Every structure is written in structure tokens, then in C-alpha cells.
Amino acid sequence: MVVPNGSLGRIPVPAEMKIELTEAEKQVCDLLDSCTKSLREKGINTSCRIAGGWVRDKLLGSASNDIDIALTNMMGLDFAEHLAEYAHSQGVKTGTISKIAQNPDQSKHLETATFRLLGLDIDLVNLRSEEYADNSRIPSGVAFGTPLQDALRRDITINALFYNVHTREVEDHTGKGLDDLREGVIRTPLPPRETFLDDPLRVLRCIRFASRFGFSIVPEIEDAVKDQTIQLALISKVARERTGEELSKMMKGRDPMNALRLIHVLSLYGSIFSVIPSEVSDTFSSTATGNHTAFAAASILDTLFHTTNPSQIPQLHSSYFTCVNSDPSCKARMYLAAMLTPYKAVTYLDRKKKPLLAVEYIIRETLKLGTQNHFLDGIPALFSAAKLLANPILTAERLSHPSHRVALGLLLREKAIHNPNTGSHWATSLLFALVQELVEVYDFASDTLDVGAATEIINTYNTFTEKIEELGLPDTLDAKPLLNGKEVVQALGASKSGAWLGKVMSRILVWHLDNPKGTKEDCVSWLKDEKEQGRIQIDDEGAEPANKRARTK
């Protein structure tokens, strides 16, 4: 059995698992029950069961605002229209009904109706009994089924529980769901191969729920997942958007490291991260390193996040966790970036033959993740920052200015290192650069760090960070310029702005870093003196008014 060894362990399960309805949930159940009785009087027979995650979470004592309702002998859209009409007759408002069509080619077999009711998100689908082609175990169609047939077609037993709104009782048609929930086990209702061929995304859902709850995965699932047929199905039969969405949920979940460990143990790295067409991979500047470097980077990151525990390596400077503690998406971004470590030195050529980071392609096309959570813009920046920050020893060769404050201030202002628009934070960039250096001293045979080498590297980064804090640089990074463009033009007696202005603004930044207590008046005086000394050249020819934007014809 694949036992979780994440840092958070297993979630507590109530000694007595029971469902207690909120007032809104009780009203929804009452409406569903009354509506089915009303339909029965019209000769339409159906029954309603709340299915899946809501039942599981309520039994675990957690709240859930998403209610999936499974119907007997009726399609979701038909019942939704009847329910909305009945609710209105009872003075209850409903949201607009939407239909989500089925898409068998991407394992989306059920037509779903969805709308808002009493502040809750309601999805309605029919109980399923899928029909199979003679030469395949992949469903070719869907017919109305029984609660047992539907439960057997679900992903895992703890998600196959029903709550009967008419009897107000939990139904466990697989006979294993309640026990597996109580004992912390991830198991498929049918043999795993059959369940995964039905929808290969369920492979990732098993991992997500195992990491979310700290549950163990049964050996049968491990064997099935390693089957090449299943791994190929995950690549060819599941839309990349769905794969990326599951991965994103894992990274933002309770224990992302446990999810990544399971991906590693189950040999799924290639099926998730390395689905790259040959026309792209053929342009790679170099070969990606082994997948083991991804897990090593994630393991190191996880260790650094938990260095409050007894450890042989030094404690990290507290500044490294500034962004991690304040931005919920930061940790998810860091773990996902760590898993792309094999591609850190790889570039590819886009259609215009421009070299771009391979990690950018993987995030955008392989995982279909955008700028939400700053995955697409923030993760490539982490890798660019890691190059700029590697081996941060304060030597004359390393510094671009005689003043440490100026040199470090300019370095930290590099967009890859610190840029709120991409979620990039100087401390997070340093932390990721540190992780990349520690991968180089990771012993893959024993899955441990070389403590001596790691200690030296961490001490170097801590010293660098202490210097940054000592110089008061963090407070300067998001500060506005001491003077704006209009004020500079006025101070220098120029008639218009121009190309010269950008150079002067850069010099003002350097001056302010070197004179942290300098005022606006001090800066104006310095500017005038620099102009008088001939160190600032103003070219008004062809320039435009400082308060005007460039016009286009």
C-alpha cells in the first residue's frame, strides 16, 4: 500500500460520522423532496440523492457549498427546469440554469445542469449506467442506471456515497465507502484499470484526494497506474486543461509535497509534465535532466519550509518566508516550479525562432495554466531569477557599483527577481535560487542532502539576506521614484521629455539608493548640479511635452 508520508499526516476522522444539515441545506432537501412528489402527481417518477464530495465532506465534519444531485430516470436539465418552476411557486428564487454538454472524447460522459439555489451551487445529473463498445472498456454511451451502477462508475469509494434526500440517510452502495473513509483508504469501486480507462483523469484525482486527506492508496491502484496503457490514456484521452486543473488543485491543497511524492512513486512525471510535441522538443537547446531532479528540488523545498523541525541544516533567515506566509498562491507556485527543475536550462524556439524558456511552454501548453496564481508569468521568472542570484557572495567582481546598497538595490529591482505584477518577491526568488543550488549537492542514492555542502550554501544565502535587510533595501523595492518625469523636466529646465529622461530616471534611482535619507529637494539640487557639471545631457530636439503621451497617426 502506498502510505502517505507528507509532513501533515492524516486528517482526523470523527468517531461518529453523521450528516448535520445547515438551514439552507435542509431547505434544499425539502424542496427536492416536495418537487419529486409534485412530479409524481403528474406521472413523472424520479428520486434525488446528493452524491460525491458533499457527502464525504459532511461526514468528515467539513462544510461544502457545492451540491451534486443524482437523479433516477431523468436528465439533469429536465429536472432543473421542473425544480426551478416549483421553487418559484413556493416563493424561492433560483439562479439561471446552465447546461454543460457531455463530451465522451474527453471522458465527460454526463450532461449536467447547474444553477444557484438558496446560496448553494447545485449540479444535477442522471444516475449513470454506461454502455461499452464490444472491443473496448471505454464507455460508448450512457443510460439511466441504478444507485449501485452509478456508485460503481465513480472514481473512488469515498466519493461514491449518497445522501438520500427523501429518507435523509447515507447510502453506501459499494459497501466500502464508509469503511474506507473511516480507515483512510483510497480505493476504486471497480478494478482500478476499468475505473481509469473510464476516465484516466481519475489517476490524478486519486493522488489529489490521498494528499488532501493524508489517506493511503491501495496496491491495486499503484499497479494499474504504472500500466503503460493507463499512462498513455492519461496523455491522449484527457484534455490538458483538466490535467493542469487537477495539478493546480494539488499544489494549492493541504499537502502539495505528498501529491508530488505520489507522482514520483507512481512514475507519472512524464505523463503530466513531459507531453511536448516533437516540433517543439526538436528545437530544445539541451536535454532535460532526469525526472529525479524534480522530486529532489521539491523535497528540498519542503525541507526548507519545515526547518523548525530538528534538522542538521541551518535555520533559514526568516525573510525567506515573508511572501510564503502572506500570499496563499506563493507556496503552490514554488512547489510547481520545483517540479520543472529538469527543464531549468532548456530553451526552445517559438514560431518566430525566438528562444524562450521550456518551462514557459510546459506551463502554457502542456498544463494549460495561465497567469492565475502567477503560474505562467511567475514560474519562468523564478528560473530567470535563480540564474541572476546564484552563489550570492559579496565580491567586487559580483557587485556592479562600489556601494553595496546601490549594487544590491539594483540587483533586487531586476523584474525577474522582484515584480508585484508577476507575483515575484525578492525573498521568494532567493529561496528558489537556494533550492536550485542545493539540488547540486543532493545525494540521489540516499535521497538526502550533503549536509556539509548544504550548510555552506545556506550560510552564504543567509549572509546575503542579512546584508539586504541591514541596508534596509526591502522597503525601497516597491517605493515610487523620488521625482516623476514631469518634475525632472521642470527641475532641469527642459522644454520636453525625450529619450534622455529614462537615463536620468535611472540615475535618480542610483542616487536615492546611495542617499537613502535624501529628500526631493536634495535630489533636485543634485540634478541641477549634475547638469551644470555636464554629466546630464538634455536633447530637446524631436522630444515631446512631459505631460503628453506619444501620439500615433
User: In this predicted model, what pLDDT tens digit does every residue of 256-265 receive, in sequence order?
Assistant: 999 999 999 9
For 7, phi then psi, to 5°, come to: -70, -20
* Coil, strand or helix at 98: strand
Average pLDDT of the segment spanning 314-332 = 90
Residue 288 has pLDDT above 90, yes or no: yes
- Reported as a single tens digit per residue, the pLDDT across 334-381 is 999 999 999 999 999 999 999 999 999 999 999 999 999 999 999 999
d(CA 75, CA 142): 11
Q: What is the b/e burial string over 167-204, where b = at least 16 CB atoms within 10 angstroms of the residue's CB?
A: eeebbbbbebbbebbeebbbbbbeebbbbbbbbbbbbb
d(CA 473, CA 453): 29
pLDDT of residue 137: 41
Of the pLDDT bands very low, low, confident and very high (cuts 50, 70, 90), residue 106 is very low
**More reliable by pLDDT, 393 or 33:** 33
The pLDDT, as a whole number, for residue 8 is 77
Closest CA to 537 of 483, 508, 499: 499
Q: Which residue type sits at 31?
A: L
Beta strand pairing call for 139-144 and 48-51:
unpaired
Burial per residue of 11-33, b for 16 or more beta-carbon CB atoms within 10 angstroms, e otherwise: eeeeeeeebeeeeebebbbebbb
- Coil, strand or helix: which one is 213? helix
Residue 138 has pLDDT above 70, yes or no: no
What does the pLDDT look like over 55-84, one tens digit per residue? Answer: 999 999 999 889 999 999 999 999 999 999
For the chain, the domains span: 23-195, 276-476, 480-553
Q: CA angle, corner 348, sides to 343 and 352, nearest 5?
A: 155
Quickly tell me which residue has 527543475 as its cell: 341
Give the other-Cβ count within 10 Å of 543's Cβ. Answer: 17
Complete edge-to-edge strand list for the sheet that includes strand 112-117: 98-100, 112-117, 120-126, 66-71, 48-51, 162-164, 169-171
Average predicted confidence (pLDDT) for the chain? 90
pLDDT given at position 398: 66
pLDDT of residue 310: 47
Angle of the 240-251 helix axis to the 202-213 helix axis, nearest 10: 10
At 364 the pLDDT is 98
Q: How does pLDDT run across 419-451, given as a tens digit for each residue?
A: 999 999 999 999 999 999 999 999 988 888 999
Q: Which helix (H) or strand (E) holds 122?
A: strand 120-126
Mean pLDDT of the region 299-320: 83
> What residues form DSSP beta bridges with 122?
67, 115
Residue 277 CB burial class (10 angstroms; 0-12, 13-18, ≥19): exposed
Beta strand 66-71 with 347-349: parallel, antiparallel or unpaired?
unpaired
CATH value of 23-195 in 3.30.460.10, 3.90.550.10, 2.60.40.1260, 3.10.450.50: 3.30.460.10
Retrieve residue 63's grid coordinates: 462544510
pLDDT recorded at residue 133: 43
The contacts of residue 57 (CB under 8 Å, 6+ apart) are 63, 64
Q: How far apart are CA 39 and CA 12, in angstroms?
A: 42
Which residue's C-alpha cell is 464508509? Answer: 178
Q: pLDDT-derived band of residue 5, with 50, 70 and 90 as boundaries?
A: low
Beta-bridged to residue 99, according to DSSP, are 113
What tens digit of pLDDT does each residue of 160-191 get? 999 999 999 999 999 999 999 999 999 999 99
Which ranges of 90-139 would DSSP assign to H, the alpha helix?
A: none
Grid coordinates of 276: 511536448
Percentage of the chain lying above the pLDDT 90 cut: 78
Question: How many angstroms separate the CA atoms of 240 and 277, rounded?
Answer: 13
Q: How confident is the model at residue 400 (pLDDT cuts 50, 70, 90)?
A: low
Which contiguous run of DSSP H or E holds residue 129? strand 128-132
Helices (H), 444-519: 451-470, 485-491, 499-514
Lowest mean pLDDT among 28-32, 295-299, 488-492: 488-492
Q: How many percent of the chain have pLDDT more than 70?
A: 90
Residue 495 — very low, low, confident or very high, per pLDDT cuts 50/70/90?
A: confident
All cell numbers assigned to 259: 501529491
What is the three-class DSSP state of 134?
coil
The pLDDT, as a whole number, for residue 328 is 83
Tell me, what's the pLDDT at 326?
87
Q: Would you state the cell numbers that stand for residue 417, as one nine-digit string?
A: 527577481
